[in-house]
Amino acid sequence: MPRFFGQFLLERGILRGDQLLKVVELQRSRAKKLGEIAVAKEYLSQNQVDFVLEEQKKTDKMFGELAVTLRLLTPNQVDEIIKEQKAIHTFLGQAVVELGFATGSQMAKLLMEFRKEEEEDEAPQGLVVPKDLPEREVVVLLPDLISKMFRRFASLPVKFSRLRFEEDFTVNPHLLAAIDFKGFVNFQALLKLPAKLSHYLIVKYCEDLDLSEEMQKSTASEFSNIICGHLATKLSDQGLSSDISPPSCFTSMEQDTFSFEGRKATILPFFTSEGYGEMMIVQPADGRRKRS
């Protein structure tokens, strides 16, 4: 099962939970987003940064790339900002050593062991999708879209596990958002989120401490809508245009299972430091994936 280096250090007894929190706090205190650096260098105003971030929801482009497209930054300015961002980035292992929780030589050895275990256990980021999978052209697009979404709007790295499959129904862990695709390709996309990850998205993405049920559903719906909107655009570029429905979102208290009786679903599990989620592609009811 994929995991993060911090989890590995906890399992090895190198760090306690409270120590890992201090490490992460140190990392976050030093981290700077591209927009923050651009404002500090007076390349952009805060209003311009906010405009680029809002436009990002509509397109599958990174902040720097989109700012260049919008003619707010030059390519040279973006390169300069990225170099500065990398220069001030603090790696987790580096923070552990700085805080005195391990030595540099210990950390180097542990990092090698972690990478070796990951190579043996983890599904590759370039996801292995069976060639005969009916939803293949959809599933292969998901890792990149999900990774970008969580990195851009929640500053969360994402790892993926191997595909798995379910029939007839799925269990709702806390929140489930559903969107229908209809057109040249027909299927249902489901995003499943646990409570901890749902709460984190509200704090990071919405910059709000309102953890009410309605706020959680609204945030999950928007995340799902953006991912599926980008997915629809990618499919359209391949000549597979489809319309997408507004998202329907349910809490586990409202609906603890989601039924798709007589149909199969392909599941892409993903992992973040704030919890485990899933993106599911459910076959259409009539079995006709593509319009003839």
pTM of the model as a whole: 0.67
Asked if residue 237 and residue 156 are part of one domain, the reply reads yes
**Tell me, what's the pLDDT at 124?**
46
Between CA 173 and CA 192 the distance in angstroms is: 7
**Tell me, what's the pLDDT at 21?**
85
Asked if residue 140 and residue 109 are part of one domain, the reply reads no
Asked if residue 277 and residue 141 are part of one domain, the reply reads yes
Instruction: Confirm whether 114 is domain-assigned.
Output: yes
Asked if residue 274 and residue 144 are part of one domain, the reply reads yes
Instruction: Confirm whether 128 is domain-assigned.
Output: no
Query: Do 231 and 189 form a contact (C-beta atoms < 8 A)?
Result: yes
**Tell me, what's the pLDDT at 126?**
55
Between CA 191 and CA 61 the distance in angstroms is: 21
Which strand (E) or helix (H) includes residue 282? strand 275-282
Who contacts 56 (Cβ-Cβ below 8 Å, separation ≥6)? Answer: 63, 66, 152, 153
Instruction: Confirm whether 288 is domain-assigned.
Output: no
**Tell me, what's the pLDDT at 290?**
56
**Tell me, what's the pLDDT at 161?**
85
Query: Do 202 and 219 form a contact (C-beta atoms < 8 A)?
Result: yes
Asked if residue 146 and residue 41 are part of one domain, the reply reads no
- Hey, which residues does 249 pair with through a beta bridge? 177
Asked if residue 142 and residue 255 are part of one domain, the reply reads yes
Asked if residue 151 and residue 96 are part of one domain, the reply reads no
- Of 55, 87, 121, the domain-final residue: 121
Query: Do 176 and 191 form a contact (C-beta atoms < 8 A)?
Result: yes
Instruction: Confirm whether 261 is domain-assigned.
Output: yes
Instruction: Confirm whether 181 is domain-assigned.
Output: yes
Which CATH number belongs to the domain containing residue 274 in this structure? Answer: 3.40.1550.10
Residue pLDDT, tens place only, 139-198: 999 999 999 888 888 888 888 888 989 999 999 999 999 999 999 889 999 999 999 899
Asked if residue 172 and residue 109 are part of one domain, the reply reads no
Asked if residue 195 and residue 63 are part of one domain, the reply reads no
Dihedral of CA 195/200/203/209: which sign?
Answer: positive
Instruction: Confirm whether 127 is domain-assigned.
Output: no
Q: Report the domain count for the chain.
A: 2
**Tell me, what's the pLDDT at 123?**
46
Asked if residue 83 and residue 170 are part of one domain, the reply reads no
**DSSP helix/strand/coil, 276:** strand
User: Which regions of the chain are under pLDDT 50?
Assistant: 122-124, 292
Residue 90 lies in domain: 5-121
Q: What count of residues does the chain have?
A: 292
- Hey, which residues does 179 pair with through a beta bridge? 189
- Of 61, 94, 121, the domain-final residue: 121
Asked if residue 272 and residue 141 are part of one domain, the reply reads yes
Instruction: Confirm whether 200 is domain-assigned.
Output: yes
